[in-house]
Amino acid sequence: MRIVIAEDSVLLRVGLERLLADAGHDVVAAVDEPTALLAAVDRMDPDLVIVDVRMPPTFTDEGVRAAVLIRSQNPRIPVLVLSQYVEERYAAELIAADSAGLGYLLKDRVAEVGEFLHAVDLIGQGGTALDPEVVAQIVVRSRRTDGLDTLTPRERTVLQLMAEGRSNSAIAAELVVTPGSVEKHISSIFTKLGLPAEDTGNRRVLAVLRYLGA
């Protein structure tokens, strides 16, 4: 993949470049501030953007705001937010807009290089990779229930795993139940949240957004 990196730490930026190059990717730009990131994305039309949350000039939320802008202007470009921090407001906005081709991972919680490279491939192919801590903090920030208080503890667990981007089979493996049991839980979740059957397949997305309070 052709990748653009935005990371103000020179050691981490160079390390990511080497790691991705060794994995067969082409890092077409590596920048240290959001203005240069937006220019590089416009110029290079990458297959994936990796961006830190806190970048110059104020080191607050410039990076994640740039990620939101990239997704709004170029929805087809996958974005991986890689940071030490969870910026709940913009994380929720990113997920609410479209969770396809989106990742939000915490640097300190990436335990293995292979895990990170798998996430890069997954996001680049249109998948979703959300650290559970990111999901948890978004949930804490949002206080909207809208039927969530009617869910059983198991149904809430299933919905949280859905919000992390897990498939039905992955949820079944995590909970050590059958896929059919997961389908029953999801059907019950849809009913309790008042999400009627439709042909577009959006109920899963709507349920996750309800959960995130987006």
pLDDT tens-digit map of 100-128:
899 999 988 887 899 999 999 999 999 98
Q: What is the mean pLDDT of residues 185-204?
A: 79
pLDDT tens for each residue of 34-86: 999 999 999 999 999 999 998 888 888 899 999 999 998 998 999 999 988 88
CATH class, range 142-212 = mainly alpha
Break the chain into its structural domains and give their ranges. Answer: 2-130, 142-212
Q: Output the six-digit token pair for 105.
A: 């991972």
Q: What is the pTM of this model?
A: 0.67
User: What is residue 173's DSSP assignment?
Assistant: H
Residue 17 CA to residue 29 CA, distance in Å, equals 9
Residue 170 CA to residue 39 CA, distance in Å, equals 38
Q: What is the CATH number of domain 2-130?
A: 3.40.50.2300
Fold match flag (2-130 vs 142-212): no
Q: pLDDT grade, residue 99 (50/70/90)?
A: confident
Residue 183 CA to residue 117 CA, distance in Å, equals 30
Residue 3 CA to residue 16 CA, distance in Å, equals 11
Q: pLDDT grade, residue 198 (50/70/90)?
A: low
Q: What does the pLDDT read at residue 13?
A: 95
Q: What does the pLDDT read at residue 203?
A: 82
Contact 213, 92 (CB under 8 A): yes
